[in-house]
């Protein structure tokens, strides 16, 4: 079964790459800085968490924590995309 976060599970360096992309967007798009920085920090936190899970319980195959993490990152990602695309009226 394919999931949007499936390719990231167990790969903290890939998660850090996603965080770096959000950080670059935050630097390049200053009017969306708050949303993009929040995304970057959330993905960095997820990378640290994933590294800890891999270090402490590498055999964990049922990841209930992802039931909270995936919707949070999805919501933040949506906020980031809306912040990029939103053009305030003048």
Q: pLDDT per residue over 54-82, tens digit each? A: 899 888 777 888 889 999 999 999 999 99
**How many residues would you count in the chain?**
90
19 in a structural domain = yes
Whether the pLDDT of residue 89 is over 80: the answer is no
pTM for the structure as a whole: 0.86
3 in a structural domain = no
Closest CA to 63 of 77, 76, 46: 46
2 in a structural domain = no
Whether the pLDDT of residue 1 is over 50: the answer is no
pLDDT at 2: 55
Q: Check the CA dihedral 17-66-83-39 and report its sign.
A: negative
35 in a structural domain = yes
Q: Count of domains in the chain?
A: 1
71 in a structural domain = yes
Full domain range(s) for residue 78: 12-85
CB atoms within 10 A of CB 71: 10
Render pLDDT for 42-58 as a digit per residue (tens, 0 to 9).
999 999 999 999 899 88
CB atoms within 10 A of CB 10: 15
79 in a structural domain = yes
1 in a structural domain = no
Render pLDDT for 14-39 as a digit per residue (tens, 0 to 9).
999 999 999 999 999 888 889 999 99
Alpha-carbon torsion, ordered 66, 41, 75, 86, to 10 deg:
-160
34 in a structural domain = yes
């Amino acid at each position: 079964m394919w999931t949007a976060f499936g390719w990231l599970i167990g790969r903290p360096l890939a998660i850090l790459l996603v965080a770096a992309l959000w950080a670059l967007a935050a630097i390049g798009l200053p009017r969306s800085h708050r949303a993009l920085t929040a995304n970057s920090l959330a993905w960095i936190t997820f990378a640290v968490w994933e590294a800890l899970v891999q270090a402490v319980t590498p055999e964990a195959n049922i990841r209930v924590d992802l039931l909270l993490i995936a919707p949070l990152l999805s919501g933040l990602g949506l906020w980031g995309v809306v912040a990029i695309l939103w053009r305030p009226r003048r």
